[in-house]
Amino acid sequence: MPIGRRAFLAGLGAGATAQLWPACGALASPGAITLTAAPGTAQIAPRDMNPTGVWHYDGQTPGPVLRVPQGARVRALLRNALPDPTTIHWHGIRIANAMDGVPGMTQAPVEPGGEFLYDFVVPDAGTYWYHPHRQSWEQQARGLAGALIVEEPAPPPVDRDLPVLLQDWRLGPDGAFDEASLGSMHDFSHAGRLGNWTTVNGDGDATWPVRRNERLRLRLINAATARVYTLALKGLDGWVVAHDGMPVPPSPVPDRLTLAPAQRTDLIVDVSAAEGTEAVLAVIDRQGAYAAVLMPVDGLARPGPEPAPAPIARNPAPMPGALDGAAQVELKMEGGAMSGLASARMSGREMGIRELVEHGMAWAMNGVAGMPDAPLLTLERGRTARIRLVNYTGWPHAMHLHGHHFQVVHDGRPDGPLRDTLLIQPRETGEIAFVADNPGDWMLHCHMAEHMASGMMSWVRVA
Ligand code: C2O
Ligand code: CU
């Protein structure tokens, strides 16, 4: 196997160490579960290094894989054994507002030693995840994240259903968590805090055996605070079947898959690599692969590949139809390094860039740095809204709307998959449309956690 690992990395032009990842994880029963957030250690660095100091849920980073049936009521008790306040946000779930986990907006932060019972229904099947919504640039970077899988009543048949949760760590040479790198204003005003070590399901160094013609459902989840992952497959052929939890008609997996922070993509793939060789799911950059799950092919699952999967049944999430009469607003994203942001409003007054930076701000949306007092939009329940997200910055942003899924607007029409997070490239505009059917106050923010903390937040109110 080590031979195959080298051969594969050479084949993809990799310079750095290969990383592998295991099949995962615990199943939780629907009903009451407890998630204790606490400091601890985990072997995320290569095995010849020390365990890393992390923050985790129930002794694991990522936290336990929660699997619940569609429509289930989930009761999850968060116990906070961290030194700081925290909350849990159930990313992508069209949840009741009071359970959305946004401190200061939908609940008080859970203080150290405190607890909070999340009690909610999961209306849509698919791949979701959970993470803190308090100081997430630190709490998520330290390891607080986990997969939430909502199972379809009739899932497409596969041999194995595997969450693939990516985390981006910054480690010192001995495998220690790089404390000094947290909270750097340089990172905040650029691409966010990028790591130097990627794990999948918390493992940076493992092997995942498969059989030829075995059918896998890979639930890719980007739990990095800031890194946009590019992924490539080798010896695995198949289809993209869902984005951000929402099914799409199966389409062939492209050569390169882009997964922005917080986004998910579900694949159904067949192992096409020959027995005795390796299939690969690789994390790549311009230099080639720098992390990978190597899947040695050992044995035969069936004589030939299965036929293409049928589309997954759609979720009850509403699709925006015609946009006539939709509420409309523009959200201008400004700031960051090399942007020339001169000033913005914060805490009710205009501040120059120097003062903003003193307050930890580097970005503004519609001229406001940080959470604005007034919502971007107030919508009657059931109204369709369209928001033009105009990126005047030199950086990509992964814009996330809480409580709703949206479609992107092309040529004045909603189009493509329902999503909850949209990557908007530098100096590009993305327009989203959604049906505001979920009452409450909902955040709209950049999911690069460092960008959110340094200014890129807004919110909409559904009355
Ligand atoms: Cu996944 Cu407001 O976040
Ligand atoms: Cu951003």
pLDDT per residue as tens digits for the range 142-152: 999 999 999 99
Lowest pLDDT segment from 43-52, 189-198, 376-385: 43-52
Lowest pLDDT segment from 40-44, 243-247, 286-290, 315-319: 286-290
Nearest CA to ligand 1 atom 1: 91
- Average pLDDT for 38-65: 96
Share of the chain above pLDDT 90, in %: 89
The chain-wide mean pLDDT, for the chain, equals 92
CA distance 356 to 412: 36
Q: Omega of the bond prior to 25 within 30 degrees of 0, cis?
A: yes
To the nearest 10°, report the CA torsion of 235, 238, 244, 247. Answer: -170
- Average pLDDT for 33-62: 96
In this model, does residue 19 exceed pLDDT 60? Answer: no
Q: Tell me, in angstroms, the distance from the centre of ligand 2 to residue 267's CA.
A: 26
The single residue listed with the structure tokens 């985990």 is: 42
Q: Which of 451, 445, 461 is nearest to 91 (CA)?
A: 445
Ligand 1 atom at minimum distance from 421 CA: 1
Q: Omega of the bond prior to 62 within 30 degrees of 0, cis?
A: yes
Q: Which of 16, 290, 40, 51 is nearest to 171 (CA)?
A: 51
What is the tens place of the pLDDT at every residue in 219-232?
999 999 999 999 99
Q: Tell me, in angstroms, the distance from the centre of ligand 2 to residue 216's CA.
A: 33
Look at residue 31 in the predicted model and tell me its pLDDT.
Answer: 53
Q: How far is CA 343 from CA 183, 356, 366, 455, in A?
A: 22, 8, 11, 12
What is the predicted ipTM?
0.98
Look at residue 24 in the predicted model and tell me its pLDDT.
Answer: 35
Q: Tell me, in angstroms, the distance from the centre of ligand 2 to residue 362's CA.
A: 11
pLDDT band at 32 (very low <50, low <70, confident <90, very high): confident
Q: In what order do the strands lie in the sheet with 126-131?
A: 66-69, 146-151, 126-131, 89-91
- Average pLDDT for 41-57: 95
Look at residue 339 in the predicted model and tell me its pLDDT.
Answer: 83
Token digits of residue 398? 């992964």
Lowest pLDDT segment from 41-50, 427-436, 444-453: 41-50
Q: Tell me, in angstroms, the distance from the centre of ligand 2 to residue 396's CA.
A: 6
Is residue 352 within 8 Å of 358, Cβ to Cβ? no
Ligand 1 contact via 262 beta carbon (within 6 Å): yes
Nearest CA to ligand 1 atom 3: 91
Ligand 1 contact via 94 beta carbon (within 6 Å): no
Q: Tell me, in angstroms, the distance from the centre of ligand 1 to residue 409's CA.
A: 22
Alpha helices per DSSP H over 232-365: 353-358
Look at residue 2 in the predicted model and tell me its pLDDT.
Answer: 28
Q: Which residue has the higher pLDDT, 18 or 209?
A: 209
Ligand 1 contact via 133 beta carbon (within 6 Å): yes
Ligand 1 contact via 134 beta carbon (within 6 Å): no
In this model, does residue 11 exceed pLDDT 70? Answer: no
Ligand 1 contact via 44 beta carbon (within 6 Å): no
Ligand 1 atom at minimum distance from 129 CA: 1
pLDDT band at 281 (very low <50, low <70, confident <90, very high): very high
CA distance 93 to 266: 16
Q: Tell me, in angstroms, the distance from the centre of ligand 2 to residue 73's CA.
A: 33
Is residue 158 within 8 Å of 216, Cβ to Cβ? yes
Instruction: Specify the 3-state DSSP secondary structure of 311.
Output: coil
Is residue 150 within 8 Å of 30, Cβ to Cβ? no
Look at residue 205 in the predicted model and tell me its pLDDT.
Answer: 79
CA distance 442 to 437: 12
Q: Which residue has the higher pLDDT, 399 or 173?
A: 399
In this model, does residue 29 exceed pLDDT 80? Answer: no
Look at residue 372 in the predicted model and tell me its pLDDT.
Answer: 97
With 0.90 as the threshold, say if the pTM is over it.
yes
Ligand 1 atom at minimum distance from 402 CA: 2
In this model, does residue 4 exceed pLDDT 80? Answer: no
Q: Tell me, in angstroms, the distance from the centre of ligand 1 to residue 89's CA.
A: 6
In this model, does residue 13 exceed pLDDT 50? Answer: no
The single residue listed with the structure tokens 């105009």 is: 390
Q: Which amino acid is at 351?
A: M
- Average pLDDT for 185-201: 96
Q: Which of 62, 15, 266 is nearest to 151 (CA)?
A: 266
Ligand 1 contact via 89 beta carbon (within 6 Å): yes
In this model, does residue 6 exceed pLDDT 80? Answer: no
The domains located in the chain, with CATH, are 2-300 (2.60.40.420), 327-462 (2.60.40.420)
What is the tens place of the pLDDT at every residue in 330-384?
999 999 998 879 999 998 899 999 999 999 999 999 999 999 999 999 999 999 9
Is residue 430 within 8 Å of 419, Cβ to Cβ? no
DSSP letter at 207 equals: B
pLDDT band at 20 (very low <50, low <70, confident <90, very high): very low
DSSP letter at 134 equals: S
Token digits of residue 220? 């890719």
Ligand 1 contact via 445 beta carbon (within 6 Å): yes
Ligand 1 contact via 443 beta carbon (within 6 Å): yes
The single residue listed with the structure tokens 């919110």 is: 459
Q: Tell me, in angstroms, the distance from the centre of ligand 2 to residue 185's CA.
A: 14
